[in-house]
Structure 1
Amino acid sequence: MRLILILALALAVVAPSQAQKLGEFGSLTEKKMGPKTIKVPYTDVVSYLGYAAKDTEDEVIDGKKFYFIYLWVPAVAPELGVRMMSPVGKTKVKDAIVSDVYTANAESEDYFDTYITLERSDIVTAESISAEKVKGAKWFSLAKNDDSSEMPKTPRGTKYNSLLRYKSVVGNPLKALTVGLYRIGFTTFKKGEVKGTFIAEVGAPVEIPGIVMAKTVEELKALIK
């Protein structure tokens, strides 16, 4: 009986780390594979490792503390996908953009119920990006997501991680995925504190060299080539 109890406790400890493993990032395009229909993986994926600290939000919207990750898209895209998972845990990601604040808090066990949004700004050239212009920019909402059944479970066993996909609307200036500055907003579904490590990924069905993400405008400008 004691051995069974020890094994059960061990499984309870291991399960969360196993649940946090990210799989392939599939696009809106589907392909028939025998009896199954699968989403064709994005061919271009950019990853960002970050940490959300308490009371460091960028803006309060409808009573919720929102944090932003800035995204530079240097070419027209037919589709973009965004997903976020918290905590990062032992998940390994190749060639990720790693923020200093993540490095300082990589061992943290804190995590949050992710809620993500995707917006496009009216800034369309890299030369126009500055803290002052970003502060006065117009932002156009494209998509949002709270819980996705496609994402790994949280350490509590709940499907609270997020994923969205957005297809460009050709001919509609406000809904098209044009060259420009975007931002990923994130918070929690319920009003409260946002605290913990996270991984954010942006995927595209075609290769778009030069896509970069950063927590601040200054960091983004340093990454743009």
Structure 2
Amino acid sequence: MKMKLSGKILPLIALTTLAGCMSTGPHLKSSVSEGVAGIEARLPYANYSNYFGYVDKSVVPEGKYKGKDTYYLYVWVPAAVDEIGVSMISPAVATPGDEDFVHANFKPGMDKDANKFFDTYIVLDRMNIIDSNSIADGGKVLQNLGRNDDSSELPANPSGASYNSLLRKTTSMNNPTEALVRGVYRIGFTSFRSSVEGSFEATIGTNVPGVKIAASLSELDALVNNKL
């Protein structure tokens, strides 16, 4: 997918109560929860990066997952993290901010058919790229870190079904292969209930700033290494 990108990191959401946390802020929350007055709520990540895209016939699939056409997003995480959260909602329910990562197809697609959506399925992989200067050289997938099809934590799609996707991966201090280190991660997305067509909103949650998202390694290299 070819596109022009911009990027931002959203600030930590100020929460006055856990009840407020349950009804405000990003839909994607961390695995950490706290309880006050009998209310248990997941806490937000310190930093969020959002990506808004639109898949139509002009966007060519980049791979296959279990026989289904699959599209990729590439994520640069600049430091070791305790947890990575990923969610994908279709159709997009928010409006991109000036510094969000936005696919060039997003606005034309929304202008044409803002209601088009697909049932999301996401896969998170770790790649063998740990040096930002090596992003342009490419790499390969080292390890699958998780997958998700349906999540009731996210808004239902227009059909009323909880078919949007959310996954969390926590680091392991005891197993180096499960440690979430600095480097490039890949999000694959497809659908097993429909074709992949329509808008989507992907969100990455971490507790470090500086996360970048692009639809190719060359674009990620340009973002991370200030080549835009």
- 2:165 aligned residue: 162
Alpha-carbon distance, 1:172 to partner: 2.3
Which amino acid letter does the alignment assign opposite residue 199 of structure 1?
E
Match of 2:180 among 168, 177, 181: 177
* CA distance in 2: counterparts of 1:67 and 1:44, whole angstroms: 24
Quote how far apart the aligned CAs of 1:219 are: 1.6
Deviations 1:58-114 (A, max 9, x none): 10122111111000001000001000000115x234442112121321232211000
Q: Which residue of 112, 116, 120 corresponds with 1:110?
A: 116
Q: Distance in 2 between matches of 1:23 and 1:223?
A: 24
Question: Over residues 43-68 of structure 1, what are the superposed CA-to-partner deviations in whole Å (9 max), with x where a residue is unaligned?
Answer: 11000001122461110122111111
2:157 and 2:209 map into 1 onto residues whose CA distance is 32
Quote the Cα distance in structure 2 between the aligned partners of 1:23 and 1:133. Answer: 32
Report the secondary structure of 1:127's partner residue: helix
Q: What code does the residue aligned with 2:69 have?
A: K
Superposition pairs for residues 1-225 of structure 1, below 5 Å?
Answer: 23-54=26-57, 56-89=60-93, 91-94=94-97, 95-107=99-111, 108=113, 109-130=115-136, 133-134=138-139, 137-190=140-193, 192-204=194-206, 206=207, 208-225=208-225
Q: TM-score, normalized by length of structure 1?
A: 0.82
Q: Cα distance, 1:34 vs. partner?
A: 1.2
The equivalent of 2:20 in structure 1 is none
Runs of 4+ more than 6 Å apart: none
| Separation of aligned partners in 2, 1:93 and 1:36 | 31
Match of 1:3 in 2: none
Q: Name the SS for the 1:160 alignment partner.
A: coil
Asked if 2 retains the 8 angstrom alpha-carbon contact of 1:115 and 1:162, the reply is yes
Distance 2:178 2:26 in 1: 29
- Corresponding residue SS for 1:129: helix
Larger radius of gyration: 1
Structure 2 residues not aligned, in runs of 5+:
1-23
What letter matches 1:26 in structure 2?
A: K
SS in 1 for 2:176: coil
Q: What CA distance in whole angstroms lies between the structure 2 residues aligned with 1:67 and 1:182?
A: 14
Identical-pair percentage: 36
Q: Cα deviations across residues 101-133 of structure 1 (Å, max 9, x unaligned)?
A: 213212322110000111101111111112x52
Q: Is the 8 A contact 1:22 1:152 kept in 2?
A: no
Report which stretch shifted further, 214-223 or 51-60.
51-60
Q: CA RMSD in A?
A: 1.8
2: distance between equivalents of 1:77 and 1:116? 20
C-alpha distance in 2 between matches for 1:183 and 1:223: 16
The count of aligned residue pairs is 198
